[in-house]
Amino acid sequence: MLPNFKALVACVVICMASQAAAHDLPISGMQMVADEHYLHIELMLNSAELVFFSEIDQNKNGRLEVAEVNEHGDEIARRIVDCLTLRTGGREIKADVAGIVPDVSTHHLTVRAHYPVDVRSIPITVESRLWEITRGAHSTQVTFRTFEGSQSARLDARSRRVTFNEPQSPDAHQSVPDGSAPASTNTSYGGLPLGISIGLVALVGGYLVFLRTFKPRI
């Protein structure tokens, strides 16, 4: 079945936003886009920060080549996605599809995962343990997006989790649970930029190839 239009647009938003997340600092960028069928996640990080990077960088050139990703991609994706725990309604949500998208000729690594849940209007908690498999004081800038607006938070070893779409009381911002990061609300973008449609045709083919390439993890 072909993904619906909103799912395609959601993936375009992820791809566009991730381009601005390129970095050389110990900071990863995670984009979360919710539609009526899936929560799409894209995480971009510096591959050299992974504590097991030397094991998979076989030619020791400081970046992952296509051949290295083809050989170790499933292991890399598993170890990274396993450091992310998503919960909603008292239950943990597992990814249907997860895989590595190499940024060839750079030291960046992109992981994409798709979770079969509609969290457009219900609380979703994200807990990150990426600091366990990365070097230094690693932090993750997380942005959660729906078609009504977006929220953001920064996660690290001291602020390990955040809940988006959480009902807020007038003074809720004054108290944050221990180990949790506060979510800040950004400007709403109810109307998507017209430029998004430019990549729509390419996205259809690319998204289908991705789904056929990376099998659901059980």
Q: Is residue 55 part of a domain?
A: yes
Which residues pair with residue 29 across a beta bridge?
A: 44, 141
What's the domain count of the chain? 1
Q: Is residue 76 part of a domain?
A: yes
Q: Is residue 110 part of a domain?
A: yes
Grouping H, G, I as helix, E, B as strand and the rest as coil, residue 158 is coil
pLDDT of residue 130: 92
pLDDT band at 131 (very low <50, low <70, confident <90, very high): confident
Select from 32, 4, 5 the least CA-distant residue to 145. Answer: 32
Q: What is the pLDDT of residues 48-73, one digit of tens each?
A: 889 998 888 888 887 778 888 888 88
Q: Is residue 144 part of a domain?
A: yes
Query: pTM to 2 decimals?
Result: 0.69
pLDDT band at 111 (very low <50, low <70, confident <90, very high): very high
Q: How far is CA 195 from the centre of its chain?
A: 22
Look at residue 202 and tell me whether its pLDDT is greater than 80: no
Alpha-carbon distance of 103 to 44, in angstroms, equals 10
The three-state (H, E, C) secondary structure of 96-125, written as one string? CEEEEEECCCCCEEEEEEEECCCCCCCCEE
Q: Is residue 118 part of a domain?
A: yes
Q: Is residue 218 part of a domain?
A: no
Question: What angle is formed at CA 32 by the lines to CA 26 and CA 38, rounded to 5 degrees?
Answer: 145
Look at residue 23 and tell me whether its pLDDT is greater than 60: no
Query: What are phi and psi for residue 20, nearest 5 degrees?
Result: -85, 0
Mean pLDDT of 95-114: 84
Q: Is residue 111 part of a domain?
A: yes
Domain that holds residue 52: 5-186+193-213
Q: What is the pLDDT of residues 143-183, one digit of tens each?
A: 999 988 999 999 998 999 999 998 876 554 445 667 888 88
Q: Is residue 204 part of a domain?
A: yes
